[in-house]
Amino acid sequence: EPEVTQTPSHQVTQMGQEVILRCVPISNHLYFYWYRQILGQKVEFLVSFYNNEISEKSEIFDDQFSVERPDGSNFTLKIRSTKLEDSAMYFCASSAFMVGSGEQYFGPGTRLTVT
């Protein structure tokens, strides 16, 4: 069964450093998303991406964040200057459709620890 993959599984970085989290969505999917989950809290939407453009973003997704689809298979989330409060689990998701509930398939996540 096709699945979303994410690398690395765990990233430790120092405050102020840039990090890039990588995702390979399901191959025939057209819509891509990033969510985050701070330890013990709910999953929060960050951004959605379609046709090489951001479709929607949340208040969390400020100028420190950016997304890119550099080639036909990868989807990345960059945080330019990490803060302690960026420590969280980051989930990539993809969907084939936007109509209907547009079932989103989630990857296993990257745990980001900012020290």
Interface residue list for other proteins (CB under 8 A): 4, 31, 33, 35, 38-45, 47-48, 54-58, 84-85, 87, 91, 93, 95, 98-109
Between 27 and 84, CB nearer to other proteins: 84
Of 58 and 76, the one with the shorter C-beta distance to other proteins is 58
* Least distance to other proteins, CB of residue 58, Å: 8
Nearest approach, Cβ of 62 to other proteins (angstroms)? 16
Query: 79-82: long-range contacts (C-beta < 8 A, 24 or more apart)?
Result: 79/18, 79/19, 79/21, 79/112, 80/18, 81/16, 81/17, 81/18, 82/13, 82/14, 82/15, 82/16, 82/17, 82/18, 82/19, 82/112, 82/114
